[in-house]
Amino acid sequence: MDKLQIMGGQQLNGTLRVSGAKNAALPILAATLLTSEPVQISKAPHLQDVTTMIELLVCLGADVMVDERMNVQVTAADLHNLKAPYELVKTMRASFLVLGPLLARYGRAEVSLPGGCAIGSRPVDQHLKGLQAMGAQIEVVDGYVNADAPKGLVGAEIYLDLVTVGGTENLMMAACLAHGQTRLHNAACEPEIIDLGNFLQAVGVEISGHGTSEIVINGSPSLGGGHFQVMPDRIEAGTYLIAAAITRGSIRLLDIQPGALGLILEKLQQAGAKISTGEDWITLDMQGRRPKAVDIETSPYPGFPTDMQAQFMALNAVAEGTSTIRETIFENRFMHVHEMKRLGANIELHGPSMAVVNGVDELKAAPVMATDLRASFSLVLAALAAQGTTVIDRIYHIDRGYETIEEKLQQLGADVRRVS
């Protein structure tokens, strides 16, 4: 099993291109099942989760071609299998997003309940409730969701009880082939939702309001093909900005939409970073200064993203002052705390959703173990700031969400290598 070996204490400086967004690419790949026409997706990141989704599309009967630049062509002309097996869905929650497209196009689907994450229950009840409002008959049997709509789905007014990104995506896709109009209330507003909506428009869907809390979709009997470029990954961008900030260095990011980062940039400025932005670039410069502690409270977009919480905890661990971090989205998302403490971080947990971080002058290297995707990179960040050589085990978690991590860090001057 691969590990990362990091010699810390080096200031990171340099320029990076941001990869395509995993959290946009996965629902877009699932949405290719809505049409029998060929669809080309460019800038899909080369990640394990994307490979898993492609395997699932092939398993369902789609014809998928991938070139050396990760341009993906999907033709889902005639699917021979409407069952998404546990073996694939268990490794990645986003596999569950094939439920809406399969049910909308074929009138039935059998999809395993999802796995792929250790950060809490993240139930799919809102997905199912919305599909039932559109006329689907749903049973959960032996860990599988069996959904039927023999006469097709029907447009509906759907009120989501809570903001759910996956639920919003599944229902957006299901509504595309439903009879009549669907209106999603209390929809998620994340930039990745906007990207999915833009893709759906590109293949002929009449959709409006994506990026707001109310999305309106007029169903069509069939959809066309097209070409679409996946948006840049705002979480990857934020993570590398912190890599520079935690080492008191500087970075220039290219191929990024600065507006999508929102509060991430604001919090980095509060931490003392000098930030400049252009149409498709961001620069950060700590000017050699130690970061200042910043309070964080996660909330749905446009609030602070839960996927950046662990990275800011690493920054706060070496910052000047004391900070409070509140996690309101997922339970069980402080699993990185115990590993950070092994590196010398001073963190107190107050229940399952609040941590108080007292910044220390320096962290010290120690062997640590990754637990989930984003938490894993927070250990990389802490190791970059620590004195000595840290070995991080179980980094397959990182490979699920970050492309060529050691190469990108080496470009910035980090002493990091993959060892087995």
Judged by DSSP in three states, 323 sits in strand
Q: Using CA atoms, how far apart are residues 111 and 52, in angstroms rounded to an integer?
A: 15
Task: State both tokens at 250.
Answer: 């500087």
Task: State both tokens at 105.
Answer: 């196009």
Residue type for position 348? E
How many C-alpha atoms does 165 have within 13 Å on its Cβ side? 24
Q: Using CA atoms, how far apart are residues 413 and 209, in angstroms rounded to an integer?
A: 43
Task: Say if residue 302 is preceded by a cis peptide, omega within 30 of 0.
Answer: yes
| 220: phi then psi, degrees, rounded to nearest 5 | -125, 155
Inter-residue contact 322 to 359 (CB < 8 Å): yes
Q: Using CA atoms, how far apart are residues 212 and 261, in angstroms rounded to an integer?
A: 17
Q: What is the dihedral of CA 59, 63, 67, 69, to 10 degrees?
A: -70
Across-strand partners of 281?
254
How many helical (H) and strand (E) elements, i.e. helices and strands, does the chain have? 14, 24
Pairing of strands 415-419, 389-393: unpaired
Task: State both tokens at 57.
Answer: 């599309």
- Alpha-carbon distances, residue 342 vs 307, 333, 334, 382 (angstroms): 22, 18, 14, 11
What are the residue numbers of the active site? 117
Task: State both tokens at 308.
Answer: 């950046």
Query: What letter does residue 143 receive in the DSSP assignment?
Result: T
State the CB neighbour count (10 A cutoff) for residue 123: 13
In the chain, what is the straight-line distance between the N-terminal and C-terminal CA atoms, in Å? Answer: 6
Q: Using CA atoms, how far apart are residues 28 and 105, in angstroms rounded to an integer?
A: 16
User: What's the sign of the alpha-carbon dihedral 298, 303, 306, 309?
Assistant: negative
Question: For residue 297, what is the enclosing H or E element?
Answer: strand 296-297
